[in-house]
Structure 1
Amino acid sequence: MTILANFIGINQYADIHISDLTGARRDATALWALFKDTVPEIQAKLLVDSDATIDNVRESLNQTLKSARSDDTVIISFSGHGTHDHRLVTHNTTVSDLTETTISMEEIADCFKETQAKIVFIILDCCFSGGAPARVLESSPIPRGPVPPLNILAGTGRILLAAANTDEFAYELPGTGHGLLTKAVLDVLQAASIQVNISEAVNDIMERVRADAGKIGVEQTPVMLGYVEGGLLLPALCRGENFYREFPETRAVIVNRDIKDLSVFGLPDAILSEWSRNFEGGLNDLQLQAVNEYRILDGESLLVVAPTSSGKTFVGEMAASAAITKGRKALFLLPYRALVNEKYNQFSKLYGDGLGLRVIRCTGDYTDQTDLFIQSKYDLATLTYEMFLNLIVNIPTILNQIGLVVLDEAQFIADPSRGINVELLLTFLLSAREQGINPQIIALSAVIGNINSFDAWLNCKSLVTTERPVKLIEGVLDRSGIFQYLNPDGTTGTKQLLPFGTVRIRRDKPSSQDLIIPLVRTLIQNNDNEKIIIFRNRRGSAEGCAQYLATDLDLYLKSVRPSAELPVHDLSVASAKLRNCLNGGTAFHNTNLSRDERIIVEDTFRDPNSTLRILTATTTVAAGINTPASTVIIAEQEFVGDDGRPFTVAEYKNMAGRAGRLGFNEEGTSIILADNAHQRELRFHQYVMGKLEELNSSFDVGHLETWIIRLLAQTKRIELNSVVRLLLNTYGGYLANSKLPQWRTAMEQNLDALLKKMIALGLVEQEAEFVQLTLLGRACGNSSLSFSSALKLVELLKSFMGIALSATDIMALVQTLPESDNGYTPMMKRGQSEAKWPSIAAGRYSHTIVQALQRNAQDFFDYYARCKRVAILRDWIDGVPTNVIEQRYTTNPFSGVITHGDIRKFADATRYHLRSAYQIASLTLFDGIPAADDVESLTKQLEVGLPASVLDLLGLPILLARGEYLALSQTNIKTIEELWSVPVDHLNEILAPKRVNELLKYRRSLPSDED
Structure 2
Amino acid sequence: MRRIRDLRKYGLPDTLLQIWEQQQGQFLLPVQEAAVQRYDLFEGRSLVISSPTSSGKTFVGEMAAMRATFAGKRVLYLTPLRALAEEKFHTFSARYGTYGVKVVVASRDRREFDRDIEHGDFHLAVLVYEKLAQLLVRQPHLLHTVALVVVDELQMLGDPDRGPGLELSLTKLLNSSPRPQLLGLSAVLREAQQVADWLEADLLFQEERPVELYRGVLLGDRFRYRTYNTGEEGEERLATVDTDEPQKMLFANVGHLVKNDEQILIFLKGKRDTVQCALGLAESLGLPPARDALAALEPLEETALKAQLQTAFRGAVAFHHADLTPEERNVVETHYRNGALRVIACTTTLAFGVNLPASTVFLEAVKWDTDPRSGAAIEVPLTWAEYENISGRAGRLGLRETFGRSIVIAANQFQADLLWRAYVMGEQEQFTPAPGQSGFLDRVLNVVASKLCASKEEVQAFFALTYLGFQQRKKTEGLLAEVHKALEALVRGQLITLSEDGRIAATTLGEVAARKGIRAVTAVKLARFFDSAHDREVPELELFYLLSLTEDGKRMYLPLSNAEHRSRVYESKLNEWAQDKGTTTGEELGHVLNARMLPTAQDVRSAKLALLLLAWINGGPLSELETQYQCYAGMIKTQTEEVSWLVDAAAEVAEVMGWPGARRLGEIAECVQFGIDAPGLALARAQLPGIGRDEIRALVAAGFDSVAALREASPEVLSRYLSPSQLAGIRLA
Q: Structure 2-normalised TM-score?
A: 0.91
Q: Is the 8 A contact 1:828 1:834 kept in 2?
A: no
Choose the corresponding residue for 2:671, options 922, 941, 946: 941
- Give the aligned partner of residue 603 of structure 2: 863
Q: Which has the higher helix share?
A: 2
- Equivalenced residue count is 716
Choose the corresponding residue for 1:534, options 261, 266, 280: 266
1:272-330 Cα offsets, whole Å, 9 max, x none, are 11112222241010001110111111111111122221111110111111111221111
Is 2:150 aligned against 1:406? yes
1:569 offset after TM fit, Å?
4.8
- Give the aligned partner of residue 848 of structure 1: 585
Q: Is the 8 A contact 1:323 1:329 kept in 2?
A: yes
- Give the aligned partner of residue 393 of structure 1: 137
Is 2:411 aligned against 1:679? no
Is 2:301 aligned against 1:570? yes
Q: Is the 8 A contact 1:953 1:976 kept in 2?
A: yes
Map of 1:838-987 to 2, 5 A cutoff? Answer: 838-844=571-577, 848-849=585-586, 851-852=588-589, 860-890=600-630, 898-923=631-656, 925-927=657-659, 929-932=660-663, 934-956=664-686, 958-960=688-690, 961-966=692-697, 968-969=699-700, 973-985=704-716, 987=718
Q: 1:273 to 1:515 in 2, by over 3 A?
A: same
- Give the aligned partner of residue 713 of structure 1: 449
1:757 offset after TM fit, Å?
4.1
Q: 1:756 to 1:335 in 2, by over 3 A?
A: closer
Q: 1:367 to 1:716 in 2, by over 3 A?
A: closer
Q: 1:791 to 1:295 in 2, by over 3 A?
A: same
Is 2:349 aligned against 1:613? no
Map of 1:482-631 to 2, 5 A cutoff? Answer: 482-488=222-228, 489-502=230-243, 512-525=246-259, 527-528=260-261, 530-553=262-285, 555-607=286-338, 610-623=339-352, 625-631=354-360
1:999 offset after TM fit, Å?
2.8
SS of aligned partner of 1:622: helix
Q: 1:698 to 1:513 in 2, by over 3 A?
A: farther
1:676 offset after TM fit, Å?
2.3
1:657 offset after TM fit, Å?
0.8
User: What amino acid does structure 2 have at the position aligned with 1:437?
Assistant: P
Partner Cα distance (2:590, 2:214) in 1:
52
1:705-754 Cα offsets, whole Å, 9 max, x none, are 3332232222265133322112112222222x22xx3323x444444454
Partner Cα distance (1:655, 1:533) in 2:
10
Map of 1:335-374 to 2, 5 A cutoff? Answer: 335-353=80-98, 355-364=99-108, 368-374=112-118
Q: Is the 8 A contact 2:317 2:344 kept in 1?
A: yes
Q: 1:536 to 1:974 in 2, by over 3 A?
A: farther
Q: 1:962 to 1:464 in 2, by over 3 A?
A: farther
SS of aligned partner of 2:585: helix
SS of aligned partner of 2:611: helix
1:482-527 Cα offsets, whole Å, 9 max, x none, are 32211242122445433140555xxxxxxx53332112111112x1
SS of aligned partner of 1:346: helix
Q: 1:588 to 1:750 in 2, by over 3 A?
A: closer
Partner Cα distance (1:903, 1:832) in 2:
19
**Structure 2 unpaired stretches of 5+:** 372-377
SS of aligned partner of 2:370: coil
Q: Is the 8 A contact 1:481 1:503 kept in 2?
A: no
Q: Is the 8 A contact 2:51 2:208 kept in 1?
A: yes
Q: Is the 8 A contact 2:435 2:479 kept in 1?
A: no
1:997 offset after TM fit, Å?
2.7
SS of aligned partner of 2:367: coil
Partner Cα distance (1:340, 1:959) in 2:
22
Q: 1:568 to 1:273 in 2, by over 3 A?
A: closer
Q: Which has the higher contact order (CA 8 A, sep 6+)?
A: 2
Q: Is the 8 A contact 2:148 2:181 kept in 1?
A: yes
Is 2:41 aligned against 1:293? no
Q: Is the 8 A contact 1:710 1:781 kept in 2?
A: yes
Choose the corresponding residue for 1:694, options 411, 430, 439: 430
Q: 1:500 to 1:758 in 2, by over 3 A?
A: closer
User: What amino acid does structure 2 have at the position aligned with 1:612?
Assistant: L
1:76-127 Cα offsets, whole Å, 9 max, x none, are xxxxxxxxxxxxxxxxxxxxxxxxxxxxxxxxxxxxxxxxxxxxxxxxxxxx
SS of aligned partner of 1:403: strand
1:542 offset after TM fit, Å?
1.8
Q: 1:806 to 1:430 in 2, by over 3 A?
A: farther
The 10-residue stretch of structure 1 (751-760 or 377-386) with the greater mean CA deviation from structure 2: 751-760
Map of 1:432-471 to 2, 5 A cutoff? Answer: 432=176, 436-451=177-192, 453-471=194-212
SS of aligned partner of 1:706: helix
Structure 1 vs Structure 2 CA RMSD: 2.8
Q: 1:655 to 1:441 in 2, by over 3 A?
A: same
**Structure 1 unpaired stretches of 5+:** 1-255, 505-511, 891-897, 1003-1011
Partner Cα distance (1:700, 1:832) in 2:
34
Q: Is the 8 A contact 2:689 2:726 kept in 1?
A: no
Is 2:727 aligned against 1:996? yes
SS of aligned partner of 1:587: strand
1:559 offset after TM fit, Å?
4.0
User: What amino acid does structure 1 have at the position aligned with 2:131?
Assistant: M
1:546-592 Cα offsets, whole Å, 9 max, x none, are 11111222x24454443332252531111111111111111122223
Map of 1:13-412 to 2, 5 A cutoff? Answer: 257-353=2-98, 355-364=99-108, 368-412=112-156
1:940-984 Cα offsets, whole Å, 9 max, x none, are 222221222111113436444445444545655432133224443
Partner Cα distance (1:638, 1:943) in 2:
31
The 10-residue stretch of structure 1 (309-318 or 854-863) with the greater mean CA deviation from structure 2: 854-863
1:438 offset after TM fit, Å?
1.1
Partner Cα distance (1:404, 1:347) in 2:
16
Q: 1:363 to 1:819 in 2, by over 3 A?
A: closer
Q: Is the 8 A contact 1:561 1:583 kept in 2?
A: no
User: What amino acid does structure 1 have at the position aligned with 2:186?
Assistant: S
Map of 1:719-868 to 2, 5 A cutoff? Answer: 719-735=455-471, 737-738=472-473, 741-744=474-477, 746-767=478-499, 768-801=501-534, 803-805=536-538, 809-830=542-563, 833-844=566-577, 848-849=585-586, 851-852=588-589, 860-868=600-608
Q: Structure 1-normalised TM-score?
A: 0.67
- Give the aligned partner of residue 113 of structure 1: none
1:430 offset after TM fit, Å?
1.3
Q: 1:542 to 1:979 in 2, by over 3 A?
A: farther
Q: Is the 8 A contact 1:484 1:680 kept in 2?
A: no
Partner Cα distance (1:628, 1:476) in 2:
20
User: What amino acid does structure 1 have at the position aligned with 2:270?
Assistant: R
Partner Cα distance (1:865, 1:273) in 2:
54
User: What amino acid does structure 1 have at the position aligned with 2:729?
Assistant: E
1:658 offset after TM fit, Å?
0.8
Partner Cα distance (1:880, 1:421) in 2:
36
SS of aligned partner of 1:639: strand
